[in-house]
Structure 1
């Protein structure tokens, strides 16, 4: 079948990277010109027409909305005995923030974010942080889906927007928004020093009641030229400040004694390739670390240590065990220790000496809600006396619960709304090097396990980020439509500790791709599916995984669906943000041998004429991380190279970014088209069903 793709010209452009000459025939698609936007719009129109041909888009959208009702809620933030949370009215396009005496009490509105946006550019709440005294609320507002947000200050009693908020733009919410001083007089925040494209950031200090021009750069010694994220943590008593540095594997890089005016920041743990992620407890930094413990242990480091880089001076509170220790959350005099037990959540309670005093009775085998990166999880705000958390499983949606130290039962604050009529099973495939790669299968109860089923693999395997056994509305809708979901835990992710992550890091990145192929071939050999009924999806770095899979093993797939993808590693070097990511996680682009290795892993450069499966690439027009030109260039090259009958489709959505700040209606439209493509390609027509009661 021939598809009417928009005409796409090529150019004679070559990029010289460390002496390696790389052709780039679609370089012109990196620009945001009228020609490119017109081409992009025609691609989107074609994708929508092909995908929805013969389908009822309304029925698919209704299915997405039904399962979206179980989406992960935003957890409330505690301050001065009250709870602040975001609420989106059923007919509203922007959320409002309410304050209540209980985490999910009715409360009263503080601010409606609609006043910060417009009908064309609705405001998105990136984060919220009430001052410790509860009098002022700081919120991060994004209006274009990009994640770039600015600080707004609201008087809680009146709802009045205060003058004098800092004007710097925050690149994202990855550094937690703002870190309030315990006396509520001001806050630290991490923001851009120039344009977002330059990707230069610093920690700033802002005092309430001053003008934006009085906001000052905080001279934290993080190392010259570092582009890593930094989050300031402050002890509840106001004495200590710690600067945690690095978004994926944070370390407490600097410390400051605030009790002595004029005392400068001094280096703390600066020489550490691993993770030290924790909180200030008294005069110690108590943290989960993978130093000398790949699965993690809990240690205490004196904040006045003479040589904090030497682990011999650390006190071990909880030794390494069979589970993977991941996070700590201070609750009163206790610390709640988050762990992974074969990917499933476990939470133990320890005292400040490391003694285990109890375990949280979780509602099932699933996952706690957690930020994407470990650094963001350190932004806990004012300490509460209760442990409030969100929890879900692969087959039941998110609920919110409260646990009080010493109690044996949970309190349900917000019950799950969706239960998937499906069965869960576990399995593993053997990678080429003999390592077992685990996966979970979510199969509709009405399916026949003896017959090959339309199957979707979802995977990530990068950046020490764990893929958790949690509820995902789009995946749930796919299962409800009759598909089988396989969630694969590939090396490079954070599910099984530091060794699992490092096994597919930098020069070993190809291991992730081999793990994926091993899972796909295992599922086919087992008879769960066949190559003509198997699809693959992944986002961001997982989108790159999809690009490698479709160009190197097109025979394995019926459909491949990259979302918000990174697809051109060579072109990414010209983008300051991606240059930072590539140097950190992939290779040194100043080394010719490393550049040649990048070429063997970069999907855009891997495209050559051949027969490819159906491809649907989805991207956001305002994505600040994987800019839409990655998707445009890859789609153009794939369309030109396709010698088979299947479509290569591209849809770049307006007012959408990398996902974290995309407006809800745009996200629903994205999920609807994504699911409709799977229904069309895998033959799921007529299987649509609605969620049953929980």
Structure 2
């Protein structure tokens, strides 16, 4: 093992002037000296960003392993990636990346074994790869492609329409869309979508506060100004509304949510008659309270098949007949089981259910009457993983009356592979096998369970080279999330592979706050119980050290968004836990997060400092407010983007400024790496991903004292 040379110990940071801002929270005075950094477009903030980036990138440029890591990442990313197909209008559609394309292309085939035709290449929409394809769906007759694009990682989408045969765009353009899919009507003449009011010109259109989401219908060939308003609740501006159409085209389903609460309202419109220009059918409020999660899988006539966690924290499937909708008539078809139903679809006359068993997938089949019909064998411990576009239901695509099912499987050491499964014969075959420049046979993944501070049993995946000697010497990357009912499952990442090849161990615990064990597991990591998440993560780090995988001086902790909050809070609470910390695009100011863009929606998980009790527990762990002088923190590299409109970059700016001011001559520095022309992470060009990962791994190896193995 060759130790890296020691670079200059004390970084010289750009000045971060301390302002006079003090807020009063229920009689408690709280200083906010870096409030000025919330104005991301001011000359002062721009100068600060430029100065911080110069210091950070000057340091990173000195790291001797950075270039070699980057070159290896280029090799690891350079493999064909064939995403999950779906069938419409007699053709198959899927996204494909030849290797190092910044954005995947959208292809189509008449037959799976046939020649692919390029339908849309988002790489041609910008010179630097920062315009991404966010979602897409094909009309029932196969003539039209509706798709969304975003610029520089923004959550704002623009919807467009393409003639599939001609492969050219129509004049249809839909703007001011966020957090919405597009749903075609059965006649293929238009689609439903949700949008927000256009921000006033005086406002910053990127970071404007969001409210009054409204469902519209767009008829092809007409301007957006003529779109029909289908449903809105102006008296409740913080309710979010989304629409879907049943496969038979009969029902428009309207889903209503409040923030990130997983419970929802469920309304519908009967579209059985030919669609009227004014959509004058009545909106029926089938479920008009936030009591549970309801997701309609499909229908047979008036009978809706619904996945729900009503009286079933790990979810079940029920039948609701719209002809007799009283609750006394609801029937349970597939009851709650020990494993969580993560996703489910109807295909080939069956329910195909993706269960989550200790945070990894298993696929089970049931008849529409709920009778068990066996399981679909998976290649190993891994994930049936989704892609995020409209037709992809968590890694599954299929049609109720077609036996052809597709699913996508991925593990930590095997890239995603799409499989075709024949529900009539039980035959399974890969659509395309990815070939990567990595010998997976040299590595292994295991799952262990450890006890958190309060004794809760928490699972953790650990991946490393076979035959690893448990002598505490290995740099170990501990990555987690812990929030918003999101389950962290096995997934393949070239960045993790590069880390493993550098001699590292990769560990991924499933903290409370996620959805791995259903609603109760999620709620155990929310609001006043958020400390459970931090305790689970700290216990994971301690277990890795106690069991010889690593030492505190070799441990690297990482997380993004809500996971960035996790890393900031843990670094404050247990600065001795790890040597390196990577809080990415984190929610770092827990007293003001709800004042920016969509931040108010997160109060369902976090609570709010506008409430006395909320202020008490939020201020106790808010990363910005719990930085202390004279503490030896880990080497920290904060990462964010200058125009992240999901988690406002002011969070990361203020946290970095506070850390630098508290310990200006610390042995281990706090740097901030601020990407430009980028957002929260979605749609980030491959080239930008590689640059950032090379910087992180070189930084981590330097401060853990590890050289080439």
TM-score (norm. length: structure 2) = 0.90
Tell me if the contact between 2:184 and 2:192 (Cα under 8 Å) persists in the aligned partners: yes
The count of aligned residue pairs is 677
Provide the rounded CA distance (Å) in 2 between the counterparts of 1:184 and 1:679: 54
1:634 aligns with 2:616: no
Per the alignment, residue 428 of structure 2 pairs with 410
1:483 aligns with 2:504: yes
Pairwise CA distance, 1:62: 2.0
Closer/same/farther in 2, CA of residues 372 and 85 from structure 1, 3 Å limit:
closer
Could you report, residue by residue, the CA deviation over 1:628-647 in whole angstroms, capped at 9, with x for unpaired residues? 11111101100111263001
Per the alignment, residue 246 of structure 2 pairs with 235
Over the aligned positions, Cα root-mean-square deviation in angstroms equals 2.5
Task: Look up the SS of the partner of 2:11 in the other structure.
Answer: coil
**Could you tell me which of 349, 356, 360 is aligned with 1:344?**
360
Provide the rounded CA distance (Å) in 1 between the counterparts of 2:698 and 2:296: 43
Provide the rounded CA distance (Å) in 2 between the counterparts of 1:494 and 1:86: 28
| Superposed counterparts of 1:246-261, under 5 Å | 246=257, 249=262, 251=264, 253-260=266-273
Pairwise CA distance, 1:12: 0.6
Per the alignment, residue 601 of structure 1 pairs with 621
Per the alignment, residue 138 of structure 1 pairs with 146
Task: Look up the SS of the partner of 1:277 in the other structure.
Answer: strand
Closer/same/farther in 2, CA of residues 70 and 523 from structure 1, 3 Å limit:
farther
| Superposed counterparts of 1:532-571, under 5 Å | 532-571=553-592
**Could you tell me which of 47, 50, 60 is aligned with 2:69?**
60
Task: Look up the SS of the partner of 2:598 in the other structure.
Answer: helix
1:287 aligns with 2:289: no
Per the alignment, residue 397 of structure 1 pairs with 415
Provide the rounded CA distance (Å) in 1 between the counterparts of 2:247 and 2:128: 41
Pairwise CA distance, 1:480: 1.7
TM-score (norm. length: structure 1) = 0.92
**Could you tell me which of 700, 704, 707 is aligned with 1:678?**
700
Pairwise CA distance, 1:163: 0.9
Q: Which moved more, 1:526-535 or 1:59-68?
A: 59-68
1:43 aligns with 2:52: yes
Per the alignment, residue 5 of structure 2 pairs with none
Unaligned segments of structure 2, at least 5 residues: 1-8, 200-205
Tell me if the contact between 2:636 and 2:670 (Cα under 8 Å) persists in the aligned partners: yes
Pairwise CA distance, 1:552: 1.0
Provide the rounded CA distance (Å) in 2 between the counterparts of 1:30 and 1:457: 30
Provide the rounded CA distance (Å) in 1 between the counterparts of 2:623 and 2:478: 19
Tell me if the contact between 1:289 and 1:296 (Cα under 8 Å) persists in the aligned partners: yes
Q: Which moved more, 1:51-60 or 1:624-633?
A: 51-60
Per the alignment, residue 210 of structure 1 pairs with 222
**Could you tell me which of 143, 158, 168 is aligned with 1:150?**
158
1:664 aligns with 2:702: no
**Could you tell me which of 660, 676, 684 is aligned with 1:654?**
676
Per the alignment, residue 691 of structure 1 pairs with none
Tell me if the contact between 2:386 and 2:395 (Cα under 8 Å) persists in the aligned partners: no
Pairwise CA distance, 1:361: 1.6
Pairwise CA distance, 1:460: 0.7
Tell me if the contact between 2:575 and 2:632 (Cα under 8 Å) persists in the aligned partners: yes
Per the alignment, residue 203 of structure 2 pairs with none
Task: Look up the SS of the partner of 1:161 in the other structure.
Answer: strand
Pairwise CA distance, 1:378: 8.2
Provide the rounded CA distance (Å) in 2 between the counterparts of 1:380 and 1:20: 51
Task: Look up the SS of the partner of 2:188 in the other structure.
Answer: coil
Pairwise CA distance, 1:508: 1.0
Per the alignment, residue 592 of structure 1 pairs with 612
Closer/same/farther in 2, CA of residues 91 and 663 from structure 1, 3 Å limit:
closer
Task: Look up the SS of the partner of 1:137 in the other structure.
Answer: strand
Pairwise CA distance, 1:345: 0.5
Provide the rounded CA distance (Å) in 2 between the counterparts of 1:348 and 1:491: 26
Pairwise CA distance, 1:472: 2.4
Tell me if the contact between 1:361 and 1:408 (Cα under 8 Å) persists in the aligned partners: no
Tell me if the contact between 2:386 and 2:394 (Cα under 8 Å) persists in the aligned partners: no
Per the alignment, residue 692 of structure 1 pairs with none
Tell me if the contact between 1:390 and 1:399 (Cα under 8 Å) persists in the aligned partners: yes
Pairwise CA distance, 1:559: 0.7
Task: Look up the SS of the partner of 1:162 in the other structure.
Answer: strand
| Superposed counterparts of 1:271-350, under 5 Å | 271-282=289-300, 283-307=302-326, 310=327, 312-350=328-366
Q: Which moved more, 1:19-28 or 1:629-638?
A: 19-28
Per the alignment, residue 210 of structure 2 pairs with 199
Task: Look up the SS of the partner of 1:62 in the other structure.
Answer: helix
Task: Look up the SS of the partner of 2:677 in the other structure.
Answer: coil
Tell me if the contact between 2:593 and 2:600 (Cα under 8 Å) persists in the aligned partners: yes
Per the alignment, residue 503 of structure 1 pairs with 524
1:128 aligns with 2:136: yes
Pairwise CA distance, 1:451: 4.0
Provide the rounded CA distance (Å) in 2 between the counterparts of 1:372 and 1:186: 22
Pairwise CA distance, 1:304: 3.8
Tell me if the contact between 2:585 and 2:647 (Cα under 8 Å) persists in the aligned partners: yes
**Could you tell me which of 165, 172, 176 is aligned with 2:173?**
165
Provide the rounded CA distance (Å) in 1 between the counterparts of 2:644 and 2:628: 27
Provide the rounded CA distance (Å) in 2 between the counterparts of 1:71 and 1:495: 30
Tell me if the contact between 1:287 and 1:328 (Cα under 8 Å) persists in the aligned partners: no
Provide the rounded CA distance (Å) in 1 between the counterparts of 2:20 and 2:392: 43
| Superposed counterparts of 1:15-54, under 5 Å | 15-17=23-25, 20-31=28-39, 32-54=41-63
Tell me if the contact between 1:71 and 1:473 (Cα under 8 Å) persists in the aligned partners: no
Q: Which moved more, 1:542-551 or 1:30-39?
A: 30-39
Could you report, residue by residue, the CA deviation over 1:428-481 in whole angstroms, capped at 9, with x for unpaired residues? 221222111111111122632344422111111100000002222222221121
Provide the rounded CA distance (Å) in 1 between the counterparts of 2:113 and 2:689: 25
Tell me if the contact between 1:559 and 1:613 (Cα under 8 Å) persists in the aligned partners: yes
Q: Which moved more, 1:333-342 or 1:79-88?
A: 79-88
Tell me if the contact between 1:547 and 1:567 (Cα under 8 Å) persists in the aligned partners: yes
Provide the rounded CA distance (Å) in 2 between the counterparts of 1:646 and 1:12: 28
Task: Look up the SS of the partner of 1:416 in the other structure.
Answer: coil
Closer/same/farther in 2, CA of residues 80 and 392 from structure 1, 3 Å limit:
same
Per the alignment, residue 225 of structure 1 pairs with 236
Tell me if the contact between 2:88 and 2:139 (Cα under 8 Å) persists in the aligned partners: yes
Provide the rounded CA distance (Å) in 2 between the counterparts of 1:334 and 1:100: 26
Could you report, residue by residue, the CA deviation over 1:140-179 in whole angstroms, capped at 9, with x for unpaired residues? 111222132201111111122101332x22224xx3x311
Tell me if the contact between 2:340 and 2:517 (Cα under 8 Å) persists in the aligned partners: yes
Pairwise CA distance, 1:272: 3.8
